[in-house]
């Protein structure tokens, strides 16, 4: 039980939306890189998706801190 709790805290921690965003970004990049000739799109999409997911997480965190 302690082992599972460690991995839950390590991977998900306080922000599960970043965990889901990371899995989504990895999935999108994997799909784009497997598509024929879409490696350039994958290279361009990676930083855009990461910045977008971090921006969404920051926006949500600001909304939560304003409510308190």
Element (H, E) at 16: helix 16-34
DSSP 35: S
pLDDT digits (tens, 9 = 90+) for 2-14: 899 999 888 888 7
- Give the domain ranges of the chain: 2-67
pLDDT digits (tens, 9 = 90+) for 8-60: 888 888 788 889 999 999 999 998 888 867 788 888 889 999 999 999 988 98
Residues sharing a CB contact under 8 Å with residue 15, sequence separation 6 or more, in sequence order: 57, 61
The upper half-sphere exposure of residue 14, i.e. CA atoms within 13 Å in the direction of its Cβ, equals 4
Q: What is the pTM of this model?
A: 0.74
CA dist., res. 32 & res. 47, Å (int)? 14
CA dist., res. 39 & res. 37, Å (int)? 6
């Amino acid at each position: 039980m302690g082992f599972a709790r460690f991995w839950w805290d390590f991977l998900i921690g306080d922000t599960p939306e970043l965990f889901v965003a990371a899995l989504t970004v990895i999935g999108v990049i994997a799909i784009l890189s497997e598509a024929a000739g879409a490696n350039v799109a994958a290279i361009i999409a990676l930083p855009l998706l990461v910045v977008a997911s971090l921006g969404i997480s920051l926006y949500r965190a600001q909304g939560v801190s304003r409510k308190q």
